[in-house]
Structure 1
Amino acid sequence: MKSKCILLLMLCLLVFSQKGLAKRGQCSGNMLAVSNSSETIVEHSNQVSVYLPLKIQVSDELLACADEIWVEDVYYYSLVFSGPTGYKYAKLLNSQFQNIEPRSGIWKEPLSNRTTQLWLRLRHYSLFPTGSYIGSIKVSVVRRNKVIQEQYLHVIYQSEPQISVSLDNASQGKVSGSSGQYYINLGELKTDMRFYWGIKILSNSSYDIVVDSEFNGLRHETDSSALIDYTIGFDNVKISSAERLYRSYYFYPGVRNKWFGFEFILGNTELMPAGNYRDNLSLTIYPR
């Protein structure tokens, strides 16, 4: 009689165990988390904001039973990106670009659609220094605080070389134009006349500069044989209008806002035919 009770108890445990497995097996399916760099959004204002996409897709089976998406940093309690100059801390935003507050190092978002769009936002006071910014995260699909599916992935922002050129404040009244196309009216040309102006270059990478005159001087509008040479002074270096200037500027990964001064010294204008003279002076910047 005693042995029958033991056998009956074992059968009951087996039945309950099978029911438990069946119940857990009801929540299953597939999940895929991706971050497509081509969908990255970059905004420039007082500071630069980068929005990195994080898209989570689930199957119908998983959607029917799971209730939340969890996002966690693999190594830290904050969303940390390592970059060329140190660490950057990201914010997790929902599809409406609203901030999601973490709880104990976990960012939670309700699971209500097959596709959930989230964003990781990085900010910098100026241009991001050139290089890769990499964050390692874990994305989980959860039912009643129990992880059903999870995936590890790297989210990467690649900051490309960027350069911005603008006139300095003192030159804005003397030089017209914008967006890299500037015009200088020298007025009546006189021997040894001088003209000064300056530009500012904002760059997130090292760069080379080439200064070059198209006509090798000021050329007469209708008489191409009439040419007035001049001297260019740039960053404490002087060359004639018939020469080309090369300069290289190196700096450790970061952002540099540098001022450059130009000096223009006209050559001899004696016995030159009257008329309008023109030259196209180019300053070309090649990021490294």
Structure 2
Amino acid sequence: MRTLILAERPFRDLRSRALLADLPRLLAGGLGGDAPLLLATSAPVAPPGFEVVAPDANPVALGIGRVVLTGAFQERPALEQALALAARAVAAGASFEVLRFGVERGAARRDPPAGVAVLEAARPLDLRDHHTANALLVWRVARMFRIDPYPERLGPPDPALLPLLPGGKLLGLSILGGPRMRAAWTARREELCAVLAPMQGWPVLPLPMEPVEGAMDDFAGSRAFLEDLLPGATLLLPELSDSAWRRRQMTPARMKSLVARCGVLITNQDLPAAYAVACRVPVIGLVLGTDRRAVNVLTQFANELPPGSVLLHKPAG
């Protein structure tokens, strides 16, 4: 019997890699023994420890005995497709687990997703954040859940990129890109320039998590934010503008080491903020537009934030 992993566009970005990469170790000893975990994806290849199957695969034909729903979902169609495949597997007798699971943006709409009832069969039902827990309550999922907050933050660091950095204090920056984000920070220029003033003269370390060619690429977003609000600052690791270099060199473990090297992190992303909390780096979370990623992290860890951390909401009025 085999284990099937259901995630939204698995391994598409560093956040997904951080959540999924160690599943072969975490799930070792379950159904399938040492066989690779089956990964439902339209991608042609999978990382070591995984084997590609079609997103609409037949669980019975694959001999699925265990299904694991995991990772952060942003898109409602992807969530509903995963729930439907889980339901078919459960109906055929497979066990069902939900681990490191989160919903945001369109996937977290108030109306229940089609197929949500299958979550009642999950043993365990482990969620990544309280925002997801609230979504399940709104959807009237009665199954008892547990919040295991941002477990990927606890992975080991890899210092391989640290020799590329200068000494002294560094400002970490991870800002989602796109015109909506730019409009949001432009409208708050005076407030944000005051926030950045104490870091004047610090070299800036971009910390991109998003897909390289994505519309919200946070390397492009961080660079634009810097040019608008802290002009003249030195941008470190210019190699990150090279998509091939970024794919080869940037891993979740290396990202954690880079975050730990910062004197302060400014971000509207979730994983860099979670790494900052784990590494005791002060984090300034920005609420830009409707994106709640930084909100979720800083409120989740409100009682254990490093000194100097703050969540900056859009001013009222």
- Provide TM-score, normalisation by structure 1: 0.25
Higher helix share: 2
- Larger Rg, first or second structure (1 or 2): 1
More strand by share: 1
Greater relative contact order (Cα < 8 A, sep 6+): 1
